[in-house]
C-alpha cells in the first residue's frame, strides 16, 4: 500500500514538473502560429486561433491588401477595400500618374490627366528636354527650343567644351575655342604636364618642359629613385644613382642586413657580413640559447 502511494506521488510530481514546460512550448507554438497567420503564410492553422486572434489576423490581412493595392501588386483585391480606402487609392493612383507624366515615365497615361495637369506635364517635359540639350545628352530636339533657349544651350555647350579642354577629360573641340581660351587651355595643359612629370606619371611629356622645369623634374625623379632604392622597391633604377648615392645606399643596406642578422629579424644574408660581424652574430645567437 505504501509503495503504491509513493509511486503515485512520484508520477504526479513528474507530471506537475513537466507541466510548465508543456505550457511554455504550447504558448510559443501558438504565438508562432498567430504570426504565420498574420503574415499570410501557408503554415498558418486557423483552426487553432481564438476569436480575438482571428480578428487580429483579419485586420492584418486587410492592411496587407490595402498595401498591395497601394503598390499596384497583382495580389490586390479591390473588392475588400472600404469606400474610404477605395477613394484614397484612386486619389493616390491619380497623383502617381501625374508624377509619372511630369517625370517622363513610360507608365504615364496622358488620357487620365486634367487639362491643367496635361499643361504642367508638357511644361515639365519641355524643361527636361532643355536640360538634356544643355547637358549634351538624352533626348534633345533643338527644333523644339525657342531662340532664347537655343542661346542658353549653345552657351552651356561652349562652357562645357572649355571645361573639358582645361581638364583633359571628355570631348574637347579646339576649333570652338576663342583665341584667349585656346591660350588659356595651352597654359592649363602645360601645368598638367609639369604636375604629371613631378609625380612620375606616364602622361608626362618631357619634351614640353622648359629648361628650368626639366631641371626641377630631374631633381624630383632623382629623389624619388633614391627613395625607391632605399626601400628596395621594384621601381628603383640603380643605374641612375650617382657614385656617392650608390655608396650611401650600399652602406645603409649593409647596416640593415647586419641588424637583421644580429636580431634575427627580417631578411639576413650572412654571406655579406664581415668577419667581425659574423663573430658578433654567433655570440648573440649562442647567448640566446
For the stretch 29-53, pLDDT in tens is: 888 988 999 898 889 988 888 899 8
- Residue 65 domain-assigned (yes or no): no
Number of domains forming the structure of the chain: 1
The sign of the torsion formed by the CA atoms of 58, 63, 66, 71 equals: negative
- Residue 280 domain-assigned (yes or no): yes
pLDDT band for position 8 (50/70/90)? low
Q: Is the pLDDT of residue 16 over 80?
A: no
- Residue 68 domain-assigned (yes or no): no
Over residues 207-228, mean pLDDT? 92
**How many alpha carbons lie under 13 Å from residue 274 in its C-beta half-sphere?**
6
How much is the pLDDT for 212? 94
CA 258 – CA 267 distance, rounded (Å):
10
Selected residue with higher pLDDT from 14 and 203:
203
Tell me phi and psi for residue 191, to 5 degrees: -65, -40
Q: Is the pLDDT of residue 14 over 60?
A: no
How much is the pLDDT for 259? 93
- Residue 23 domain-assigned (yes or no): no
Grid coordinates representing 33 are 502560429
Percentage with pLDDT > 70 across the chain: 91
**Region of 105 on the Ramachandran plot (φ > 0 left; ψ -120 to 50 alpha; else beta):** beta
Virtual torsion, Cα 102, 103, 105, 108, nearest 10 deg: -20
Return the residue matching grid coordinates 527650343: 145
Domain that includes residue 270, residue range: 242-289
- Residue 10 domain-assigned (yes or no): no
Each residue's pLDDT tens digit, 145-203: 999 999 999 999 999 999 888 887 778 888 889 999 999 999 988 999 999 999 988 88
pLDDT band for position 116 (50/70/90)? very high
- Residue 155 domain-assigned (yes or no): no
CA 42 – CA 54 distance, rounded (Å):
16
- Residue 276 domain-assigned (yes or no): yes
Each residue's pLDDT tens digit, 18-29: 555 544 556 688
Measured in whole angstroms, the distance separating CA 279 from the mean position of its chain's CA atoms is 58
- Residue 247 domain-assigned (yes or no): yes
Amino acid at each position: 500500500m505504501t509503495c503504491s502511494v509513493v509511486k503515485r506521488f512520484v508520477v504526479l510530481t513528474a507530471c506537475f514538473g513537466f507541466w510548465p514546460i508543456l505550457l511554455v512550448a504550447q504558448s510559443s507554438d501558438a504565438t508562432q502560429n498567430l504570426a504565420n497567420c498574420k503574415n499570410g503564410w501557408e503554415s498558418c492553422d486557423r483552426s487553432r486561433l481564438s476569436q480575438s486572434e482571428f480578428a487580429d489576423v483579419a485586420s492584418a490581412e486587410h492592411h496587407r491588401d490595402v498595401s498591395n493595392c497601394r503598390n499596384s501588386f497583382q495580389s490586390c483585391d479591390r473588392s475588400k477595400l472600404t469606400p474610404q480606402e477605395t477613394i484614397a487609392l484612386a486619389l493616390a493612383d491619380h497623383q502617381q500618374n501625374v508624377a509619372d507624366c511630369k517625370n517622363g515615365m513610360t507608365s504615364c497615361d496622358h488620357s487620365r490627366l486634367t487639362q491643367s495637369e496635361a499643361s504642367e506635364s508638357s511644361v515639365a517635359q519641355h524643361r527636361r528636354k532643355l536640360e538634356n540639350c544643355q547637358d549634351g545628352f538624352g533626348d534633345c530636339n533643338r527644333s523644339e527650343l525657342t531662340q532664347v533657349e537655343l542661346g542658353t544651350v549653345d552657351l552651356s555647350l561652349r562652357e562645357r567644351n572649355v571645361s573639358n579642354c582645361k581638364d583633359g577629360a571628355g570631348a574637347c573641340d579646339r576649333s570652338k575655342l576663342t583665341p584667349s581660351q585656346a591660350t588659356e587651355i595651352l597654359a592649363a595643359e602645360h601645368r598638367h604636364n609639369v604636375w604629371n612629370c613631378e609625380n612620375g606619371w606616364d602622361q608626362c611629356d618631357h619634351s614640353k618642359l622648359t629648361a628650368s622645369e626639366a631641371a626641377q623634374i630631374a631633381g624630383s625623379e632623382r629623389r624619388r629613385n633614391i627613395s625607391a632604392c632605399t626601400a628596395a622597391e621594384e621601381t628603383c633604377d640603380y643605374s641612375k644613382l650617382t657614385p656617392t648615392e650608390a655608396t650611401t645606399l650600399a652602406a645603409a643596406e649593409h647596416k640593415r642586413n647586419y641588424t637583421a642578422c644580429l636580431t634575427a629579424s627580417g631578411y639576413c644574408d650572412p654571406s655579406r657580413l664581415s668577419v667581425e660581424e659574423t663573430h658578433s652574430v654567433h655570440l648573440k645567437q649562442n647567448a640566446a640559447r
